[in-house]
Copies of this chain bind each other. A is one copy, B any other.
């Protein structure tokens, strides 16, 4: 298999984009990525979207977007793995370029969520859980993650304040990202006094409902070396699943799919957690980031909350996590999130991350997760 590079990335401002439709949001973003790559001819497209059917009544999404990007009759494939759809699109593009089947592949993620009201959007997001054994009984994602949070607090002594510190850290980072939906700082007090959603999680523990897209252009490393931008290689890719229902797991505080996907990605990249300079992970709720850093081997099991409190994962810490602001501050247009993580890592490894630049970053990791951890994609990137 051939070595694969990311030679272009694009992202537009995320938020409640009332004046733009899904196709417009995607096309604007894809054109930015193409422009960044310096390439105008692509061979194939992969689109990550979680539920364009429920959110905007539109399936057959990859054809629609290929059409509006002026790229028919190009092969265009939509992939879905709930909130990990973007990371999955990246993996598919990686396999296609690595296989030699295509040279230049556009990988995009997109979701238009605000056409639904809050109740309807909560239903749409609930389609990522087991509808027959979880949704039917009335639980939604804040409830599922609240169960995880409570179990983590009981088992490991993780504190309510440590959960809040994840949100505070990510909003601090997000305040330096002009494309973030909520680019401003918050405090531990503001989290602790925000509206209760599902005990112990309050609204400032939860990532928001967002419209947005992100895109990346992949090609063989040999081709990327001829272009003007610094070469960022994809050196590891891991994909794993877990039981979709939380009730089927032996330990709800442990994200087995993240552990398994990371194991494969580390092995392919021939790297260990200590080699990673920064990472973008799936903080759909504050507790998620804590569990994810444990499953990725960045901190010991049970020590994720303590690590945040000690500043280990902050922008100036030993391993900065979610320098972009994460899902919490940057926003979470579900299908786009996994690709936006790549945008951040590529910008960081190129030294283009502005006020939130991690000095000397050379190796980065992305972790993108579906549902309550029923699927996970982990990718590792290295600057040549």
Contacts and interface: CB of A to CB of B under 8 A. Distances in A.
Interface of A: 1, 21, 23, 50-51, 53-54, 56-64, 66-67, 71-82, 88, 92, 95-96, 98-101, 123-124, 126-132, 135, 239-245, 248, 256-257, 260-261, 370-371, 374-375
Nearest to A124: B53
A60 B82 contact: yes
Contact of A51 (B53, B100, B257): B53
16 contacts: A51-B53, A53-B124, A53-B127, A59-B80, A60-B244, A62-B375, A63-B375, A67-B248, A71-B241, A73-B241, A75-B239, A75-B240, A76-B375, A77-B92, A79-B80, A95-B95
Contact of A81 (B53, B58, B60, B135): B60
Contact of A242 (B58, B73, B131, B244): B73
A53 B56 contact: no
Contact of A374 (B63, B81, B374): B63
Contacts of A82: 59-60, 63
B73 A260 contact: yes
Given A21-B132, A67-B241, A374 B60 contact: yes
Nearest to A55: B53
A100 B260 CA distance: 20
Nearest to A245: B67
* Number of copies of this chain that the complex holds: 2
B127 A242 contact: no
Contacts of A53: 51, 53-54, 124, 127
Contacts of A131: 56-58
A82 to B, nearest CB: 4
B132 A67 contact: no
Contact of A135 (B57, B75, B80): B57
A1 B374 contact: no
Q: 6 closest Cβ contacts across the A-B interface?
A: A99-B99, A75-B239, A60-B82, A63-B374, A59-B127, A73-B240
Contacts of A80: 59-62, 78-80
B101 A98 contact: yes
Contacts of A375: 60, 62-63, 76
